[in-house]
């Protein structure tokens, strides 16, 4: 690259970065390297991988790129599992969990039960960069975000409130709340009849220097007990990376990952030389082996819940796998973004 092309490259990169930096606090870009970048995400992350790859190609740090990618979904009222528009806890309050890990520094930060902040992943990065800690929760996390001038927002959209209200009106025989006839309910409310998702968005990014970054962000289990924290903000459970090995993360029933430190298990599998798909399926099998709670087993003693895993290895190989069939992941390999089918431990579709 000539000096003038280089200067032009840095000017356009700086302009884009300063726009992102004002909202999301990204670091200054570095020149792009020569390795093939890869970005993977959960199936709700197609726009995420597109944005993250765009930023990586402009020289952004892989974690900054991933955070900019997930910010699109965090701000999307249509995704009821992440950020703004997330389904609230049982009291109708949206509580968000998020964590980030940065490969080159092996740094990490997270927030849990954070209210009123649309971009918890960006706050998690501030915990990593601007404190000596790894995890801030609840009121302390909110005060920390306020101290950094992060704007507060009512995260409960009308649609999420209506979905929650219908759950409240139909949950339990002793309730004094009365639901209207189904014919009066909106299609959005009807779509979520009987569903308690663990949704979530994970993104792992490998940049052109072979450096990794990852983020997991969620509004957690629908109608959760206030203060319930899932796997997403827990490093080793909802995400993990080692810059010399690979990056992994998960969506689905977080308690299963908390009890098995699944993302750490996956990265350790990659370290032992397992192929990405096999490392993910090993984590699935670990969940099956340790799931001894009869409430969480089907008639064949299999988990009656879904967990999905995604990983990218240091050399660019990647995979997605889940307990039950039908899951997809988003991938950008530097050429194009697309949804691809995940492998699964069982051939049957996800139980309801």
Q: Which residue has the tokens 């969506």?
A: 251
In the 3-class helix/strand/coil scheme, how is 7-27 assigned residue by residue? HHHHHHHHHHHHHHHHHHCCC
The response to whether 107 counts as a known ligand-binding position is: no
Question: Closest approach of Cβ 262 to ligand GLY, in Å?
Answer: 10
How does DSSP assign 63-132, residue by residue?
Answer: HHHHHHHHHHHHT-TT-TTSSTT----TTS---EEEEEEETTTTEEEEEEEE-S-S-HHHHHHHHHHHSS
CA distance 28 to 172: 53
CA distance 34 to 69: 22
The set of residues, in sequence order, having a beta carbon less than 8 Å from that of 14 and lying 6+ positions away, is 28, 29
Does position 251 interact with ligand GLY (CB under 6 A)? The reply is yes
Smaller CB separation from ligand GLY, 17 or 248:
248
CA distance 51 to 66: 8
* Catalytic member of 48, 200, 216, 217: 200
Question: Closest approach of Cβ 216 to ligand GLY, in Å?
Answer: 8
Question: Closest approach of Cβ 199 to ligand GLY, in Å?
Answer: 7
Of 43, 62, 254, 303, the one binding ligand GLY (CB under 6 A) is 254
Taking CB under 6 A as the binding criterion, the range among 31-39, 132-140, 251-259, 335-343 that sits at the site for ligand GLY is 251-259
* CB-CB contact of 74 with 83 (8 Å): yes
The response to whether 252 counts as a known ligand-binding position is: yes
* CB-CB contact of 138 with 258 (8 Å): no
CA distance 204 to 51: 13
Smaller CB separation from ligand GLY, 247 or 251:
251
Of 115, 125, 198, 308, the one binding ligand GLY (CB under 6 A) is 198
131 noted as active-site residue:
no
Does position 83 interact with ligand GLY (CB under 6 A)? The reply is no
The response to whether 229 counts as a known ligand-binding position is: yes
CA distance 87 to 160: 5
Question: Closest approach of Cβ 277 to ligand GLY, in Å?
Answer: 21
Smaller CB separation from ligand GLY, 253 or 286:
253
CA distance 267 to 105: 17
Question: Closest approach of Cβ 198 to ligand GLY, in Å?
Answer: 4
CB atoms within 10 A of CB 9: 16
Smaller CB separation from ligand GLY, 225 or 299:
225
Of 43, 88, 213, 252, the one binding ligand GLY (CB under 6 A) is 252
The response to whether 316 counts as a known ligand-binding position is: no
Smaller CB separation from ligand GLY, 211 or 217:
217
- Interface with ligand GLY in residues 200-239 (CB under 6 A): 200, 218, 220-221, 230-232, 238
Smaller CB separation from ligand GLY, 246 or 254:
254
The response to whether 100 counts as a known ligand-binding position is: no
How does DSSP assign 158-207, residue by residue?
Answer: HHHHHHHHHHHHHS-TT----PPPGGGS-HHHHHTTT------EEEEEE-
* Site of interaction with ligand GLY (CB under 6 A): 198, 200, 218, 220-221, 230-232, 238, 251-254
Q: Report the catalytic residues.
A: 200
Query: Which segments are annotated as binding site?
Result: 228-231, 251-254
Q: Which residues are annotated as a binding site for substrate?
A: 228-231, 251-254
């Amino acid at each position: 690259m000539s000096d003038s092309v280089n200067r032009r490259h840095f000017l356009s990169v700086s302009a884009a970065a300063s726009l992102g930096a004002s909202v999301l606090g990204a670091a200054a870009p570095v020149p792009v390297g020569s390795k093939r970048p890869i970005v993977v995400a959960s199936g709700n992350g197609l726009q995420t991988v597109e944005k993250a790859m765009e930023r990586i190609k402009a020289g952004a740090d892989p974690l900054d790129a991933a955070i900019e990618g997930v910010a699109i979904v965090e701000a999307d009222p249509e995704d009821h599992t992440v950020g703004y528009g997330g389904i609230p806890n049982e009291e109708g309050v949206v509580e968000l969990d998020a964590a980030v890990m940065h490969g080159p520094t092996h740094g990490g930060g997270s927030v849990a039960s954070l209210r009123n902040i649309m971009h918890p992943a960006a706050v998690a990065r501030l915990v990593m960069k601007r404190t000596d800690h790894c995890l801030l929760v609840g009121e302390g996390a909110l005060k920390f975000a306020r101290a950094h001038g992060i704007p507060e927002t009512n995260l409960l959209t009308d649609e999420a409130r209506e979905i929650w209200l219908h759950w409240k009106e139909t949950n339990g025989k002793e309730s004094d709340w009365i639901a209207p006839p189904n014919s009066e309910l909106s299609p959005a409310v009807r779509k979520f009849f009987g569903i308690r998702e663990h949704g979530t968005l994970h993104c792992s990014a490998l940049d052109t220097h072979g450096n990794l970054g990852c983020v997991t962000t969620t509004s957690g289990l629908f109608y959760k007990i206030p203060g319930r924290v899932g796997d997403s903000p827990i490093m080793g459970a909802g995400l993990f990376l080692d810059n010399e090995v690979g990056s992994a993360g998960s969506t689905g029933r977080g308690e299963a990952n908390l009890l098995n430190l699944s993302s750490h298990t996956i990265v350790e599998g990659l370290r032992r030389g397992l192929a990405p798909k096999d490392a993910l399926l090993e984590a699935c099998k670990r969940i099956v082996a340790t799931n001894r709670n009869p409430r969480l087993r089907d008639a064949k003693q299999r988990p009656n819940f879904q967990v999905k895993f995604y990983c990218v290895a240091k050399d660019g190989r990647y995979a997605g796998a889940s307990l039950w069939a039908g899951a997809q992941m988003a991938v950008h390999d530097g050429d194009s973004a697309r949804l691809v089918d995940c492998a699964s431990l069982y051939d049957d579709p996800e139980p309801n």
